[in-house]
Amino acid sequence: MKNKFTITISDIKGSRHYTIDDILKRVVAVFLIFVILLFAGGVIYITILNNEVSQLVNKKDELQNELDDKIAYYEVIKDKIEEIETIIGIAHEDDNISHEVRLSNITLTTIQQSLLLQFIPNGGVATHNGISDKFGMRKHPIKMTDEFHSGLDFRTPLQTPIYAPALGIVEYAGYSESSGYGSLVIIDHGFGFKSYYAHLDKKMLVRVGQFVKKGDYIANSGNTGLSSGPHLHYEVRFLGRALNPINFVNWDLNNFSQIFEKETNVQWDSLLEVMSILLANKQNPQ
């Protein structure tokens, strides 16, 4: 029985003989070899991954050590600078006074407050039918992805007039396709503040370089850019950082101090200190 082998099974009824071709033996042998190679490959792959993980852990530890060293170096430099400031007499005794205490030490007259509100964005910018999207994380109505919403969306019919919330100069007035803003106006109010008006009507009412004052008619609402319907997207930024516009929309002379408590991303104490000097000089010219 060439190229065959026999399997014998015996029981109480007798013996039975089975033969299997040599090809089947080869198939079994190949399968066993494949299993062994697969197992060996898995072991090697896991070993490589473990080595890479170990290297990443070591790299992380090295970076953490470098960061700790830089922080320590920064603290040393900071201490040296404070020593130098003390020696040359520019260190302030009230450096440890809290932001809230400094603000309480700065008082502006009602006239000065009114003048300040001409410079910093405040109050409403358009008649609207409510807010459709607030400041913060949200699901984008078109892209359907979770994204940070850097402003407020006001429900406004097409061609709703939009007004400047403070004195400033028009930094941009045109179509911003890449940003999704569509027709966009940006006003630079100075002191680090800028305001953005997006999804406007295509017809621009202001031009770059134009000075505007609080209450000036600057644009009409539209439905341009990445927009799901007519509305106004309004932003307030300080040094490029988006702030919650609702704090500025609700800010007026009647709740003048409220903004200082709600918007903590602005160093109001130093700003008010400078503004109080400027406004005092404006009221009492030499």
pLDDT digits (tens, 9 = 90+) for 215-247: 999 999 999 988 888 999 999 999 999 999 999
Cβ atoms of residues 212 and 169 within 8 Å? yes
Q: What is the pLDDT of residue 242?
A: 93
Backbone φ, ψ for residue 65 (5° rounding):
-65, -40
Q: How many CA atoms does the CB half-sphere of 48 hold within 13 Å?
A: 6
pLDDT grade for 281, boundaries at 50, 70 and 90: low
**pLDDT exceeds cutoff 60 at 185:** yes
Q: What mean pLDDT comes out for the span 66-94?
A: 59
Q: What's the predicted TM-score (pTM) here?
A: 0.62
pLDDT reported for residue 87 = 47
- Chain centroid offset of residue 1 CA: 80
**CATH fold label, 118-251:** Glucose Permease (Domain IIA) (2.70.70)
pLDDT over 90, % of the chain: 40
pLDDT at 92 over 50: no
Give me the pLDDT at residue 247, please: 95
| Residue 13: per-residue pLDDT | 65
Domain ranges of the chain: 1-91, 118-251
Q: Is the pLDDT of residue 89 over 50?
A: no
The pLDDT tens digits for 154-172 are 999 999 999 999 999 999 9
What is the average pLDDT value for the chain, to the nearest integer? 81
State the residue for tokens 């953005």. Answer: 196
Q: Which of 20-29, 71-80, 94-103, 133-142 has the highest mean predicted lDDT (pLDDT)?
A: 133-142
